[in-house]
Amino acid sequence: MAFLSREHLENLGLSEIGSHVFISDKASFYNPAKIAIGNHVRIDDFCVLSAGEGGIEIGNYVHVAVFSSLIGAGRIKLSDFVNLSSRVSIYSSNDDYTGAALTNPMVPAEFKNVQSADVELKKHVIVGSGSVILPGVTLNEGAAIGALSMVVKDCEEFTIYSGVPVKALKSRKRDLKKLEHRFLNSQ
């Protein structure tokens, strides 16, 4: 994987770009002026970040793995220490599937019924490969989402979820909070 140089990163037109940022030269950015990226962030090959009016905000120590996408008109926020495994899709907008409206971006807005809502992943959230997160969802601190899950509702802190739609399975350890403190103090 080839990462963009600092010069290329600065020329992307992002609203903010931190230090120690590694973005694949195969990642795609749409509406970059609405995308803010913190420090110590890695975005891998074939990721798509398409920011709408609400924008995309990525905190510190975040990894977005290969083939992941963050798309929609609502705000998408990835807080510090969030990890998205490969092929994770986060949507802050959703078409109307009832048949009461037309769908797709080639149809004028007056004939569609797109719903948008903010999505937030709080600190230490991890999302397993192939999972989908829909508009209006908040994954509270330390929530863990198993692979191939569909997240349609908020998830409680330090709880492990899995399924379609997700269901809570069990509590998650909080040891990582102590490790975070030690890690940050060692910097």
Cα gap 172→160, rounded to integer Å: 6
Q: Is residue 1 part of a domain?
A: no
- State the residue range of the domain holding 81: 6-185
pLDDT tens digit at each of 187 positions of the chain: 799 999 999 999 999 999 999 999 999 999 999 999 999 999 999 999 999 999 999 999 999 999 999 999 999 999 999 999 999 999 999 999 999 999 999 999 999 999 999 999 999 999 999 999 999 999 999 999 999 999 999 999 999 999 999 999 999 999 999 999 999 999 8
- Total number of domains in the chain: 1
121 closest CA partner among 86, 101, 164, 91? 91
Run of H or E including 58: strand 56-58
121, HSE (Cβ side, Cα atoms, 13 Å)? 33
CATH code at position 101: 2.160.10.10
